[in-house]
A = this chain, B = another copy of it.
Amino acid sequence: MPKVNLSEKFSQIPELWSPRIAAELNGQYLKLARLKGEFIWHQHQAEDELFLVVQGELKIQFRKSEEVLRAGEFLVVPRGVEHRPVAEEEVHVILLEPTSTVNTGEIRDERTRLDLKWI
Stretch at the interface among A12-20, A22-30, A34-42, A105-113: A22-30
List the B side residues contacting A27 at CB < 8 Å: 26
How many residues from A make CB contacts under 8 Å with B?
Answer: 36
Copies in the complex: 2
Q: Is the interface of A mostly helix, strand, loop or mixed?
A: strand
A interface residues (Cβ-Cβ under 8 A, vs B) = 1-7, 23-28, 30, 47-50, 54, 60, 62, 65, 67-69, 72-78, 81, 96-98
Chain B residue contacts of A69, Cβ below 8 A:
3
Q: When A and B form their complex, which 7 residue pairs have the shortest distance between CB atoms, in order from nearest?
A: A25-B48, A3-B75, A6-B72, A3-B67, A23-B76, A3-B73, A5-B73
